[in-house]
Amino acid sequence: MREYVVENEFVKAVKSAGGVAYKLTSQTANGLPDRLVLFFPAKTVFVELKAPGKMMRPLQRKRRHQLMKLGFPVLCIDKLYQIKPCIDAILAWTPGEPFPEGIGAKIPDLEITTLPSEMDDFGETLEPIDPDDLAEFYNLEEDDTG
Protein backbone atom coordinates (compact mmCIF):
# COMPACT_ATOMS: atom_id res chain seq x y z
CA MET A 1 0.00 0.00 0.00
CA ARG A 2 1.27 3.47 -0.87
CA GLU A 3 1.41 6.55 1.38
CA TYR A 4 -1.26 8.38 -0.62
CA VAL A 5 -3.79 5.63 0.20
CA VAL A 6 -3.23 6.13 3.95
CA GLU A 7 -3.30 9.91 3.49
CA ASN A 8 -6.55 9.93 1.48
CA GLU A 9 -8.31 7.71 4.03
CA PHE A 10 -7.05 9.88 6.87
CA VAL A 11 -8.30 13.10 5.24
CA LYS A 12 -11.75 11.52 4.64
CA ALA A 13 -11.95 10.34 8.25
CA VAL A 14 -10.98 13.76 9.65
CA LYS A 15 -13.59 15.46 7.46
CA SER A 16 -16.32 13.00 8.49
CA ALA A 17 -15.42 13.65 12.16
CA GLY A 18 -15.95 17.40 11.66
CA GLY A 19 -12.37 18.57 11.22
CA VAL A 20 -10.04 19.66 8.45
CA ALA A 21 -6.65 18.27 7.46
CA TYR A 22 -4.71 20.87 5.49
CA LYS A 23 -1.82 19.69 3.33
CA LEU A 24 1.39 21.36 4.53
CA THR A 25 3.90 22.48 1.95
CA SER A 26 6.76 24.84 2.52
CA GLN A 27 9.42 26.27 0.26
CA THR A 28 11.55 27.29 3.23
CA ALA A 29 11.17 24.53 5.85
CA ASN A 30 11.74 20.92 4.79
CA GLY A 31 10.65 18.04 6.98
CA LEU A 32 7.30 19.44 8.13
CA PRO A 33 4.53 16.89 8.77
CA ASP A 34 2.16 16.15 5.88
CA ARG A 35 -1.04 17.46 7.47
CA LEU A 36 -2.16 20.19 9.85
CA VAL A 37 -5.30 18.83 11.53
CA LEU A 38 -7.79 21.23 13.10
CA PHE A 39 -10.87 20.44 15.19
CA PHE A 40 -13.16 22.72 17.17
CA PRO A 41 -12.38 24.13 19.70
CA ALA A 42 -8.77 25.10 18.87
CA LYS A 43 -7.43 21.55 18.60
CA THR A 44 -4.30 21.67 16.45
CA VAL A 45 -2.31 18.53 15.68
CA PHE A 46 0.36 17.81 13.09
CA VAL A 47 0.24 14.41 11.37
CA GLU A 48 2.90 12.68 9.29
CA LEU A 49 1.53 9.95 7.04
CA LYS A 50 3.72 7.11 5.82
CA ALA A 51 3.42 3.98 3.73
CA PRO A 52 3.10 0.91 5.97
CA GLY A 53 6.37 0.14 7.71
CA LYS A 54 8.14 3.33 6.60
CA MET A 55 9.81 5.51 9.23
CA MET A 56 10.16 9.26 9.67
CA ARG A 57 13.44 10.62 8.31
CA PRO A 58 15.83 12.32 10.77
CA LEU A 59 14.82 15.82 9.58
CA GLN A 60 11.15 14.93 10.07
CA ARG A 61 11.92 13.74 13.60
CA LYS A 62 13.76 17.01 14.22
CA ARG A 63 10.72 19.02 13.07
CA ARG A 64 8.53 16.82 15.28
CA HIS A 65 10.76 17.60 18.25
CA GLN A 66 10.62 21.35 17.49
CA LEU A 67 6.82 21.35 17.17
CA MET A 68 6.37 19.31 20.33
CA LYS A 69 8.58 21.74 22.27
CA LEU A 70 6.11 24.43 21.19
CA GLY A 71 3.27 22.35 22.65
CA PHE A 72 1.84 20.83 19.45
CA PRO A 73 1.16 17.09 19.28
CA VAL A 74 2.77 15.38 16.29
CA LEU A 75 1.50 11.96 15.25
CA CYS A 76 2.66 9.48 12.64
CA ILE A 77 0.22 7.12 10.92
CA ASP A 78 1.40 4.30 8.68
CA LYS A 79 -1.55 1.90 8.77
CA LEU A 80 -5.26 2.32 8.10
CA TYR A 81 -6.29 0.82 11.46
CA GLN A 82 -4.41 3.65 13.26
CA ILE A 83 -6.63 6.37 11.76
CA LYS A 84 -9.70 6.02 14.00
CA PRO A 85 -7.76 5.78 17.30
CA CYS A 86 -5.76 8.88 16.31
CA ILE A 87 -8.89 10.90 15.52
CA ASP A 88 -10.57 9.67 18.71
CA ALA A 89 -7.50 10.75 20.71
CA ILE A 90 -7.53 14.20 19.08
CA LEU A 91 -11.25 14.65 19.81
CA ALA A 92 -10.81 13.57 23.45
CA TRP A 93 -7.71 15.73 23.97
CA THR A 94 -7.89 19.12 25.70
CA PRO A 95 -5.41 21.65 24.27
CA GLY A 96 -2.82 22.61 26.87
CA GLU A 97 -2.94 19.14 28.40
CA PRO A 98 -0.42 16.41 27.53
CA PHE A 99 -1.41 14.41 24.47
CA PRO A 100 -1.94 10.67 25.14
CA GLU A 101 1.14 8.50 24.56
CA GLY A 102 1.28 5.54 22.17
CA ILE A 103 -1.15 6.86 19.54
CA GLY A 104 -0.27 6.05 15.92
CA ALA A 105 2.95 4.55 14.64
CA LYS A 106 6.05 4.19 16.80
CA ILE A 107 8.46 7.06 16.16
CA PRO A 108 12.14 6.52 16.98
CA ASP A 109 13.57 9.05 19.39
CA LEU A 110 15.62 11.85 17.92
CA GLU A 111 19.24 11.73 19.02
CA ILE A 112 20.02 15.22 20.26
CA THR A 113 23.63 16.29 20.42
CA THR A 114 24.68 19.15 22.66
CA LEU A 115 27.62 21.16 21.45
CA PRO A 116 30.14 22.44 24.00
CA SER A 117 29.54 26.00 25.10
CA GLU A 118 33.20 26.96 25.47
CA MET A 119 36.37 26.00 23.65
CA ASP A 120 37.81 24.38 26.78
CA ASP A 121 34.99 21.83 26.65
CA PHE A 122 36.52 20.28 23.55
CA GLY A 123 39.04 18.46 25.72
CA GLU A 124 42.77 18.77 25.18
CA THR A 125 43.76 22.26 24.06
CA LEU A 126 46.57 22.91 21.65
CA GLU A 127 49.54 24.50 23.34
CA PRO A 128 52.11 26.49 21.37
CA ILE A 129 55.02 24.30 20.41
CA ASP A 130 58.53 25.33 21.37
CA PRO A 131 60.30 26.14 18.07
CA ASP A 132 63.48 24.51 19.40
CA ASP A 133 61.63 21.18 19.47
CA LEU A 134 61.11 21.47 15.72
CA ALA A 135 64.71 22.38 14.81
CA GLU A 136 65.33 19.05 13.08
CA PHE A 137 62.11 19.35 11.11
CA TYR A 138 63.00 22.78 9.76
CA ASN A 139 66.65 21.93 9.03
CA LEU A 140 66.65 21.81 5.25
CA GLU A 141 70.39 21.34 4.81
CA GLU A 142 71.42 18.01 3.40
CA ASP A 143 72.75 15.37 5.71
CA ASP A 144 76.59 15.28 5.72
CA THR A 145 76.66 11.49 6.20
CA GLY A 146 75.31 10.65 2.75
* pLDDT tens column, 51-71: 998 989 999 999 999 999 999
Sheet holding 20-23, edge to edge: 20-23, 35-39, 43-49, 74-77
In a domain, 37, yes or no: yes
Range of the domain at 51: 3-92
74 sits in which H/E element: strand 74-77
In a domain, 70, yes or no: yes
- For the whole model, what pTM was predicted? 0.73
In a domain, 134, yes or no: no
**135 has a pLDDT exceeding 90:** no
Domain count, the chain: 1
In a domain, 100, yes or no: no
Question: Could you report the per-residue pLDDT of 11-51, keeping only the tens digit for each?
Answer: 999 999 999 999 999 888 899 999 999 999 999 999 999 99
Q: Output phi, psi for 61, to 5 deg.
A: -70, -35
pLDDT value, residue 4: 86
**Hey, how many other C-beta atoms are within 10 angstroms of the C-beta on 116?**
9
pLDDT value, residue 127: 56
CB-based contact 107:61 (threshold 8 Å): yes
Q: Which CATH number covers residue 51?
A: 3.40.1350.10
Mean predicted confidence (pLDDT) in 77-97: 94
In a domain, 126, yes or no: no
In a domain, 62, yes or no: yes
In a domain, 107, yes or no: no
